[in-house]
Structure 1
């Protein structure tokens, strides 16, 4: 992998003593519950295994907490300092980068039927869309790297073809929105909350994708001189789309990737959707990582001096839990911070683009901790 591992004491982590990690503990405890009762997480190339996490999982599940599932911050800090050891990932510690994501809530009403004003559907996964068994060695005719294909071993239609009716008439529609941009940004985030005219709220989460490569339209707008790089954000992209209705569809179609959803209950208004690690995301504490490298459930201390903390007027320095992934999240020190749900979280997430330093917390006694210089 070309990565070096180096120990670093908790006392040397900038911002560790000021962090309030109770919510990080709650997030870790949810992963512990899933991994011990449902299915263990697949190890990433850093080598952290289910067996490595076993003692910490057991301790987290045995830890006395309030009915809400949250301990005190002091209790949470003591837990992580007892069961984990900070490990800096090299060789270039300054090469990390974070962005943000959130769970959109479609503020305009959606409808269960295609009717006047409601024209843009959220679609379920087609029954004939299947995973490519080995994306690096796909069937003839399927480009390398595609994660999904049709069951006849042909490529799934791309965004333009689907939105032009490729799957029309198959009953895949979950609901219809007023704005194609609302649907598009739900695709970018991989989840959304839909509000119906009767006040009912439903959650939709990622089920599958077309398999075509993702293209960020913000980068296209910057490259074409439409929006200055220092002004690019989710809000500025939305403003551009609203101001250029004759060009908006064409721009969004340049992102050929298309997301299919499934319905899910909103059991807790505060928590986010169930994501790749199969537990609900914790606002401000769940982190999307490169799952080829990191094992889900790993605590990672992220410090970004150029980014303000979500809740405090100080630089960002937070313990996060690896609980999600994404195709754009590549590398050992690349992450996506889950900002929460709704409009304010979206504003926050859209402005997160910062250099960051990643320090993983390796379970005490693990081979990864030993390689970093800790004794067993």
Structure 2
């Protein structure tokens, strides 16, 4: 994909002065801690590398944090203006676009019993990553990211329908059992969930692996078939259709052959989201899922969407987000998924997000991207 870089300036970046980036700084600081003490993030095709981020990471970690856990918005804004330079990435005129996602809350039981029949599954032990999905081993189709490996004999993993009708039923993979297959399905789409047990206990699960089969959005299928209009399709309208057509619900969901396996996850605070692809807890309203082949995790990205209302205020969406997650449907430099938070209220926010957007990355000062855009001479 042909990319061009266009210089921006904080003083003229629409919405920058009105944003409240304290939570974005907190999210960035978590990524700084992981990348400097555990493992550097992989460099995306834009070319932002671990050395580019080192000065900003060091400055963020050296910052004294108040007891509240957050800097003031003024201090956070000054930090980003000091250590970064805004650059718009233009991908040959391709329009930017944002959707939303969240962490569902699902009522579950530890056992399969009356009312609880639909399991969340752990990853099978013999499900392994394909080293190169474009050139997989014999027995696995091109493009598949995962395969079953039985003593050197590799095969494609069963798809959603096969798994939900018992392909792994004898392996004891069940983490918990839900009341509704639709709740399980949407947790798969989101890649995470909070599991609410009858005794009041809450546990979290997050993405561990997938079947490798292609993801198919069932909302798009319903629009194509004239069941829901393109203008009204949303998470809520899809759920309503599934509830109104119980005889067709399973077959529709099975058309999305992709299946997600989970693992239990610990998070330092209930106010934060699950630990996602960047290996840090997501910050509600500030973490962004991106194409990890393009972007480097930890990159601050200013997203503006004039037709989308801000999460918390009566103004158009214009927020500094931090690249900390990814997703199958997130492809290209100007495509993102906004993390709205956890629970039903966050689900309502996330389900209605579908808007054209502009993406301005904050490139570390001194980086090659900042130089090429004309910031550094």
- TM-score computed with the length of structure 2 as normaliser: 0.98
Aligned counterparts, 1:78-97, within 5 A: 78-92=78-92, 95-97=95-97
CA distance 1:50–1:238, shift in 2 (3 Å) = same
Q: Who is 2:282 aligned against?
A: 281
Structure 2 residue matching 1:153: 3-state secondary structure: strand
Matches within 5 A, 1:354-365: 354-365=355-366
Distance 2:362 2:148 in 1: 40
How big is the shift at 1:67? 2.5
Q: Is the 8 A contact 2:22 2:73 kept in 1?
A: yes
How is 1:334-353 mapped onto 2 (pairs within 5 angstroms)? 334-353=335-354
> Equivalent residues in 2 for 1:194-343 (5 A)?
194-343=195-344
**2:112 alignment partner, one of 111, 114, 132:** 114
Equivalent residues in 2 for 1:31-46, closer than 5 Å = 31-46=31-46
User: Using the alignment, how far apart are the partners of 2:23 and 2:205 within structure 1?
Assistant: 24
Q: Cα distance, 1:268 vs. partner? A: 1.2
How far does residue 269 in structure 1 lie from its aligned partner after superposition? 1.2
Equivalent in the alignment of 2:131: 133
Query: In the TM superposition, what is the alpha-carbon distance from 1:93 to its structure 2 partner?
Result: 5.9
Query: Which 4+ runs in 1 deviate beyond 4 A?
Result: 91-94
- The worse-fitting range, judged by mean Cα deviation, of 259-268 and 278-287 is 259-268
What per-residue deviation string (whole Å, max 9, x for no partner) do you get for residues 329-358 of structure 1?
000000000000000100100100000000
Rounded Cα–Cα distance in structure 1 between residues aligned with 2:362 and 2:12? 14
* C-alpha displacement of 1:92: 4.8
Q: Work out whether 1:102 is the aligned partner of 2:88.
A: no
- 1:360 is paired with a residue of what secondary structure? strand
- Give the superposed CA RMSD: 1.0
Q: Retained in 2: the 8 A contact 1:94–1:357?
A: no
Question: How many residues are treated as equivalent by the alignment?
Answer: 374
Task: Give how far 1:94 is off.
Answer: 6.7
| Matched-pair contact (CA < 8 Å) for 1:213–1:257 | yes
In 1, Cα distance between the equivalents of 2:91 and 2:206? 36
Residues in 2 aligned to 1:264 and 1:42: alpha-carbon distance in whole angstroms:
22
Counterpart residue number, 2:13: 13
SS of residue in 2 equivalent to 1:220: helix
Separation of aligned partners in 1, 2:220 and 2:361: 30
| Matches of 1:237 and 1:161, distance apart in 2 | 23
Are 1:149 and 1:210, in contact at CA under 8 Å, matched by a contact in 2?
yes
Equivalent residue for 1:30?
A: 30
SS in 1 for 2:282: coil
Contact 1:93/1:358, CA 8 A, preserved across alignment: no
Alpha-carbon offset, residue 169 of structure 1: 1.5
Q: How much does 1:189 deviate?
A: 0.2
**Deviation readout 1:65-99 (Å, 9 max, x if unpaired):** 11243100000000000000000111456710000
Conserved 8 A contact 2:267-2:275:
no
SS at match of 2:32: helix
- The answer to whether the 8 A contact 1:45-1:293 is kept is yes
Provide the rounded CA distance (Å) in 2 between the counterparts of 1:177 and 1:195: 10
1-side partners of 2:201 and 2:3: how far apart? Answer: 49
What is the alpha-carbon distance in structure 2 between the residues aligned to residue 69 and residue 145 of structure 1?
Answer: 43
5+ unaligned residues in a row in structure 1: which ranges? none
Residue number in structure 2 paired with 1:148: 146
Is the contact made by 1:201 and 1:266 (CA closer than 8 Å) also made in structure 2?
A: no
Change (3 A) 1:89 1:232: same
What is the CA-CA distance between 1:148 and the residue it aligns to? Answer: 0.3
Structure 2 distance, partners of 1:315, 1:94, is: 22
Report the TM-score, using the length of structure 1 for normalisation: 0.98
Structure 1 residue 2, shift from structure 2 partner: 1.1
